[in-house]
């Protein structure tokens, strides 16, 4: 049988190096959205994306917001064929701790068949696969078989507030589409591509405990005065039991139970706990009783502390009763938990446990519900065929523990199927030092994407 995309595939083959060079350009921009010092860099990344679309012959525009701009570009409408929104983000996580990077986070470095840089997989590398596949179609055929609408934002790592706000306005009507494609997840394993049909939500908090007006001598005052650092430990500890089950009343009320069928399907996935432990460098796994490790990571809510600070952190032994202590923590959520309801329950839970002599402040920083997308849509079937072309292997169907809050809002606002097509790997070190993207997966992702437009048009 003739390969209907032989010309496109030949273009992709001939442009591997050029594609990688373009990726390196984008990865060199330290577009850290969580750090206000990097604000100009984040904007530079937006401008690079705009210029990239212009180089493809499109007419991109920056949609200005209160925060970072949205980059928008579209290809011509194709009567009778679906319209596809491609969503991605050009911002990245902070690179700390810097001293653990082998090569600097914003000097993209090719090593062991990977490209190392902050954002390599999350999400610059993955997002760019769809841009490059469109570039190929446009260069070879002058048109795409479906209409593509690219929407690339710059605040995904800090809660997508500007985009969420934009989606609530009538101006966002131009995003109307039949499917939303997002590549910001992982394959199930090396050379085992996957379609992700579920994501966890999140409710993210910062908790401050404030005691005396300044640090006190722990000898003179200890025992007499409430210690904010002790209180912080007690409050964080109270949130979960010793197996990580959340203790906040009502927390599990709206959790949709796993079906026997889904548990069976998850149990069949080839997951090696020993290898998983070795990969992470831990001597044991631990979590909510009654659930497998995959179930705990993908389908169960959590409460994890992300950072704690307060008092003396220097060398030696300073004997103070610190005036304040604080933590960042979040709950991963699953359908049908409501982040706003969860935040209210946590606030009440903490207030109820506040001893005399301290004040607490709970900041609800961002939230999004979890989602599970239907498996029986034609677009999921088209994606499965496209991935088989790109990766030479049919994808397995998985859920993922991370959150892409905006996906939930797209599906609500645009009434479109969400296609979560992850080209990354679990050991890509997203949000960690030495983030990487396997270059073979970058090119396989581009190929799968090129086929996706073809398969979606075929219906």
Q: Which is nearer to a copy of itself, 84 or 294 (CB)?
A: 294
Site string for a copy of itself, 320-339 (x = CB under 8 A): xxx--x-xx-x-x-------
Backbone angles phi, psi at 63, to 5 degrees: -95, 110
User: Looking at residue 334, what DSSP letter applies?
Assistant: -
Pairing mode of beta strands 70-74, 147-153: antiparallel
Total of chain residues touching a copy of itself, rule CB under 8 A: 105
By the rule CB under 8 A, 311 interacts with a copy of itself: yes
By the rule CB under 8 A, 258 interacts with a copy of itself: no
Q: Which stretch binds a copy of itself (CB under 8 A): 8-16, 131-139, 235-243, 261-269?
A: 235-243
By the rule CB under 8 A, 189 interacts with a copy of itself: no
Residues 6+ apart with CB under 8 A from 307: 327, 328
Q: Which stretch binds a copy of itself (CB under 8 A): 167-175, 236-244, 260-268, 388-396?
A: 236-244
CA distance 287 to 404: 23
Query: Scanning residues 70 to 99, which ones bind a copy of itself (CB under 8 A)?
Result: 93-94, 96-97
CA distance 274 to 288: 19
Q: Which stretch binds a copy of itself (CB under 8 A): 55-63, 69-77, 129-137, 206-214?
A: 206-214
Q: CB of 362 within 8 A of CB of 207?
A: yes
Q: CB of 90: closest distance to a copy of itself in angstroms?
A: 16
By the rule CB under 8 A, 34 interacts with a copy of itself: yes
DSSP per-residue codes, 240-280: B-TTS-B-STTTTTTPPPPPHHHHHHHHHS---HHHHHHHH
Q: Which stretch binds a copy of itself (CB under 8 A): 161-169, 174-182, 238-246, 438-446?
A: 238-246
By the rule CB under 8 A, 309 interacts with a copy of itself: yes
Residue 205: strand, helix, or coil: strand
Query: If we measure between CA atoms, which residue out of 34, 129, 53 comes closest to residue 88?
Result: 129
One residue of 110, 141, 306, 415 binding a copy of itself per CB under 8 A: 306
CA distance 248 to 338: 14
Query: Scanning residues 129 to 168, which ones bind a copy of itself (CB under 8 A)?
Result: 157-159
By the rule CB under 8 A, 212 interacts with a copy of itself: yes
Q: CB of 33: closest distance to a copy of itself in angstroms?
A: 7
Q: CB of 283: closest distance to a copy of itself in angstroms?
A: 7
CA distance 259 to 401: 18
Beta bridge partners of 85: 149, 180
Query: Scanning residues 261 to 280, which ones bind a copy of itself (CB under 8 A)?
Result: 276, 280
One residue of 102, 261, 281, 376 binding a copy of itself per CB under 8 A: 281
CA distance 21 to 206: 39
User: Looking at residue 313, what DSSP letter applies?
Assistant: -
Q: CB of 427: closest distance to a copy of itself in angstroms?
A: 10
Pairing mode of beta strands 320-321, 216-217: antiparallel
By the rule CB under 8 A, 211 interacts with a copy of itself: yes
CA distance 317 to 284: 32
């Amino acid at each position: 049988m003739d390969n209907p995309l032989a010309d496109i595939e030949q273009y992709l083959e001939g442009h591997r190096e050029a594609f990688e060079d373009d990726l390196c350009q984008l990865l060199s921009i330290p577009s850290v959205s969580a750090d206000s010092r990097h604000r100009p860099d984040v904007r530079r990344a937006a401008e690079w994306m705009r210029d990239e679309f212009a180089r493809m012959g499109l007419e991109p525009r920056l949609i200005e917001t209160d925060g970072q701009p949205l980059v928008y570009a579209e290809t011509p409408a194709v009567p009778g064929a679906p319209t596809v929104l491609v969503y991605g983000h050009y911002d990245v996580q902070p690179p700390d701790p810097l001293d653990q990077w082998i090569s600097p986070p914003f000097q993209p470095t090719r090593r062991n068949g990977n490209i190392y840089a902050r954002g390599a997989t999350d999400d610059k590398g993955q997002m760019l696969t769809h841009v490059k596949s469109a570039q190929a179609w446009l260069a070879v055929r002058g048109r795409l078989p479906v209409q593509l609408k690219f929407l690339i934002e710059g605040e995904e790592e800090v809660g997508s507030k500007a985009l969420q706000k934009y989606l609530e306005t009538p101006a966002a009507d131009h995003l109307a589409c039949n499917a939303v494609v997002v590549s910001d997840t992982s394959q199930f394993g090396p050379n085992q591509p996957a379609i992700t049909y579920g994501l966890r939500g999140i409710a993210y908090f910062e908790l401050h405990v404030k005691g005396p007006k300044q640090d006190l001598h722990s000898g003179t005052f200890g025992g007499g005065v409430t210690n904010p650092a002790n209180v912080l430990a007690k409050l964080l500890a109270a949130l979960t039991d010793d197996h990580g089950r959340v203790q906040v009343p009502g927390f599990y009320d709206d959790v949709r139970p796993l079906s026997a069928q889904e548990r069976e399907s998850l149990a069949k996935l080839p997951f090696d706990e020993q290898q998983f432990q070795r990969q992470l460098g831990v001597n044991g796994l631990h979590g909510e009783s009654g659930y497998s490790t995959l179930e705990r990571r993908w389908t169960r809510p959590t409460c994890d502390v992300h950072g704690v600070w307060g008092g003396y952190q220097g060398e030696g032994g300073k004997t103070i009763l610190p005036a304040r202590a604080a933590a960042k923590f979040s709950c991963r959520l699953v359908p049908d938990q409501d982040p706003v309801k969860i935040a209210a329950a946590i606030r009440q839970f903490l207030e109820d446990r506040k001893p005399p002599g301290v004040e607490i402040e709970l900041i609800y920083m961002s939230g999004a519900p979890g989602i599970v997308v239907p498996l029986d849509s034609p677009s999921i079937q088209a994606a499965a065929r496209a991935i088989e072309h790109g990766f030479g292997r049919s994808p397995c169907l998985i859920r993922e523990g991370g959150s892409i809050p905006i996906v939930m809002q797209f599906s609500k606002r645009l009434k479109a199927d969400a296609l979560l097509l992850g080209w990354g790997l679990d050991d890509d070190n997203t949000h960690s030092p030495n983030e990487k993207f396997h270059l073979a997966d970058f090119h396989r992702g581009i190929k799968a994407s090129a086929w996706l437009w073809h398969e979606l048009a075929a219906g």
